[in-house]
Amino acid sequence: MSPSGPSPTTPLNGDASRRSSGRGKRAFAATWWGQAWVAALEESTLDAGRLSRGRTYARKGLVGATTVAPGQIKAPVQGSRPRPYRSCVHLPVLTDTQWDTLLNAIASRAGHLAALLDGEMPTELIDAAREAGVPLLPQPTELDPECSCPDWGYPCKHAAALCYATAATIDADPFVIFALRGRGREEVFAELRARRTAPRENAAEAVPAGVPAAAAYARWTENTPELPEPPEPATHAAAPPVDPPPGSGLAAADLERLIADAAGRAARLLAGDTTTMELTQRQDAVRIAADRPGPEWFHNLIQGTGAKPAEFARLTRAWRHGGPVGTIVAEQPHTPDPAKMAVARTALTQALAEMTDHPVPLKAWRNRITLADRGLQLRLGPDARWYPYRQDDGEWWPAGPADADPVTALTTLWQQTGT
């Protein structure tokens, strides 16, 4: 296990008050927090059959050694094939702000820390954290299973077995939950020690974080003063008054392009377009590259972000098709509403039956629906639109603009590829 503390095979200890009666000899969790983990799994799906097979696998000891890391727990799970499958369960990590709230809740009562050191998870701590918006124990919608097996179940029986086997690990050491949320035992203790030893006289009052630029602009637009019509944008930027300093690596033409870019963004901002106000440095570099500034700029932008050329090129294409949301879809898979994915899959299956004279298998994983034998894929974005992708030399590349209808997105992609 990656977090410091007891290993997954450490025997459970503690008195009978930690145990829940009436669960039966074959229960996977003996503590209330271990049972909360199992409940989150069982409430995340209606597939009782796969859960039942997962319990059988776990009881037979088919789950190998588990590895815990921030946001995930994984293990090999022996299935029907000779080689074990690679199963994993993802859990969102807490933000720094949530961690501050949680650590303050622990530090506020000495009994919380004492209970944790004794292998207990105080219910009062969980209640206080939940009221403050910090979900330490997993919610049903947060557990995100993944497996290398061909089963399309969510979860498959192998990932379900891993979840059930993990319950005993969490029973023995509640700090496993902390590690899954992003910080291990030693890091939590170090943070708590720092809070106890900080001199009170030097404690400064919290300084307001200020207002994000987008929110400030939105507030200003509520009472927008009358402004004159902006002039037509110039076809090219004015030359800078002085040349760049020697050795800066910039040429006058570079500054002219940056000036033109800033002017264009300002014009869009005045028109109410705030989509580029909260971009990361990486996203802003992709935005500039998507404007086709030339090979030298493209090369410098890649070096500045530290991205691999193919990865940066893929993000650039994603921006051209979908802007900031397109880059998020290209890099960050997420778990949408299972019902929405099921409806889309049914609609696609029916459409494919009309487009071909033989069945086309679909495989769904998180927000992606893939036609593996055709090298086509649709990804559901956070904007509820379907983004088409095409496989090229083993890599998935954005293949066109998104559409709210998955069938329309697939049909367009199908026609483009001549499938």
DSSP 3-state assignment of 86?
strand
Residue pLDDT tens, the chain, 419 long: 334 343 333 333 333 333 333 333 346 878 888 888 888 888 877 678 888 999 999 999 999 998 999 999 999 999 888 899 999 999 999 998 888 888 888 887 777 777 777 778 888 888 888 888 888 888 888 888 889 998 877 889 999 999 999 988 888 888 898 999 998 888 888 888 887 765 544 444 555 566 677 677 667 666 666 656 655 555 555 566 677 777 766 677 767 777 777 777 777 777 777 777 777 778 888 888 777 766 766 677 777 777 788 888 888 899 888 888 998 998 888 888 888 888 998 888 888 888 887 778 888 888 999 987 888 999 999 999 999 999 888 889 999 899 999 999 988 888 876 65
Spatial contact of 281 and 275, defined as CB atoms under 8 Å apart: no
Q: What is the dihedral of CA 377, 380, 384, 388, to 10 degrees?
A: -30
Query: Element (H or E) spanning 387, and its range?
Result: strand 386-392
Q: What is the pLDDT of residues 45-57, one digit of tens each?
A: 767 888 899 999 9
- Two tokens, residue 130: 């939940």
User: What is the crossing angle of helices 295-305 and 281-290, to 10°?
Assistant: 170
In whole angstroms, how far apart are CA 403 and each of 212, 381, 388?
Answer: 31, 10, 9
- Among candidates 136, 138, 156, which has minimal Cα distance to 146? 156
The DSSP result for 274-334, as a single string, is -TTTT--HHHHHHHHHHT---HHHHHHHHHHHT--HHHHHHHHHHHHHHHHHHHHHHH---
Q: What is the pLDDT of residues 404-418, one digit of tens each?
A: 999 999 888 888 766
Q: Cβ contacts of residue 178 below 8 Å, gap of 6+? A: 3, 136, 184, 185, 188
Burial of 173 per CB tally in 10 Å (0-12, 13-18, 19+): buried
Which strands make up the sheet holding 85-90, listed edge to edge?
67-69, 72-77, 85-90, 144-147
Q: What is the pLDDT of residues 303-340, one digit of tens each?
A: 777 778 888 888 889 988 888 899 899 888 888 888 88
Our CA angle for 230, 213, 326, nearest 5°, is 85
Distance between CA atoms of 241 and 140, rounded to whole angstroms? 60
Q: Cβ contacts of residue 266 below 8 Å, gap of 6+? A: none
Handedness of CA 251, 253, 257, 260 (dihedral sign): positive
In whole angstroms, how far apart are CA 66 and each of 9, 130, 187?
Answer: 10, 28, 21
Distance between CA atoms of 341 and 352, rounded to whole angstroms? 16
pTM above 0.75, yes or no: no
How far from chain centre, in Å, is Cα 337?
Answer: 15
Distance between start and end Cα atoms, the chain: 47
Spatial contact of 311 and 398, defined as CB atoms under 8 Å apart: no
DSSP 3-state assignment of 115?
helix
Helices (H), 306-405: 309-331, 338-355
